[in-house]
Amino acid sequence: MNHSDFRVRGKTFATLWPKEKRGVVLLTREQQHRVTAAESAVCEPVPGGWGLRGATSVHLELADAATVRSALVMAWRN
């Protein structure tokens, strides 16, 4: 796979997919629901099992800095 990942204590909390112009943050299901409800044009669950476990795509071309920062901080704190 050709993407960067970001880790805390060996656990991935986010990945960056530059060719697709998106990032993925690993949230709880509750956090994912809140983020996707508030930013439905920018954030969506990753398809399949990963999405059912909280993996959330962030479309970087559509996102503002505050949205990206908020999602990253939530994922990092988890």
**62-77 pLDDT, tens per residue?**
999 999 999 999 999 9
Per-residue pLDDT at 2 exceeds 90: no
Tally the domains of the chain. Answer: 1
CB 24 within 8 A of CB 15: yes
Domain that holds residue 70: 4-77
Per-residue pLDDT at 60 exceeds 80: yes
Stretch 7-14: mean pLDDT: 95
Q: How far is CA 35 from the centre of its chain?
A: 9
**19-59 pLDDT, tens per residue?**
999 999 999 999 999 999 999 999 999 999 999 999 999 99
pTM over 0.85: yes
DSSP 2-69: --EEEEETTEEEEEEEGGGTEEEEE--HHHHHHHHHHTTTTEEEPSSHHHHTTEEEEETTT--HHHHH
